Amino acid sequence: MIDKNKLDSLFKEAQTAALKAYAPYSHFRVGAALLCEDGTIVTGVNVENRSYGLTVCAERNTICSAVGRGLLKFSALAISTPDSVEPVGPCGACRQVMGEFMGPEAPVRFAGSGEKTVDTTVGELLPLDSLHELKK
């Protein structure tokens, strides 16, 4: 488990990353910061395309970037959505990718520009994940 200060720092990285998002169509920027088991932090953003189906979420971009660097073990994820006052959680596709590479106990924090922050886990976001259930 990571401490609150580490999660706060990770979320600040996600906030900074969100400012680099490419969101000319929705104007909804998302930044993510992934804490790898070795202490490396990898960030990513959403990248939109005029064909919305080709848009890639920040969470998946971040995880794929880490995997491309040879990093496969992740401890926590933070997600920032500065264009929403309320926190916006990851979509279903991102939850599936998170479940592929992160254990159910891994912390996830997400928040918008308002005061509310959601601290949860991968397991709470993706309950009864068959990948982890089959490993039992």
Catalytic center residues:
59
| Six-digit token string for 102 | 């992160």
Owner of token pair 């401490």:
3
Sequence-separated (6 or more) residues with CB below 8 Å from residue 20: 31, 45
- Which ranges constitute the DSSP H helices of the chain? 4-18, 58-68, 92-101, 122-125, 130-135
Closest to 58 measured CA to CA, from 89, 37, 101: 89
